[in-house]
Amino acid sequence: EAGVVQSPRYKIIEKKQPVAFWCNPISGHNTLYWYRQNLGQGPELLIRYENEEAVDDSQLPKDRFSAERLKGVDSTLKIQPAELGDSAVYLCASSTDGQGNPYEQYFGPGTRLTVT
Partner 1 sequence: AQSVTQPDIHITVSEGASLELRCNYSYGATPYLFWYVQSPGQGLQLLLKYFSGDTLVQGIKGFEAEFKRSQSSFNLRKPSVHWSDAAEYFCAVGLSGGYNKLIFGAGTRLAVHP
Provide the binding-site residues for partner 1, judged by CB under 8 A.
3-4, 31, 40-45, 48, 56, 91, 93, 95, 98-110
Looking at beta carbons only, is 15 or 103 nearer to partner 1?
103
| Residue from 81, 93, 116 nearest 30 by CA | 93
| Residue 14: CB minimum distance to partner 1, A | 24
Looking at beta carbons only, is 28 or 100 nearer to partner 1?
100
Question: By three-state DSSP, how is residue 71 classified?
Answer: helix
Q: What angle do CA 90, 62, 51 make, to 5 degrees?
A: 65
- What's the full length of the chain, in residues? 116
| Residue 50: CB minimum distance to partner 1, A | 9
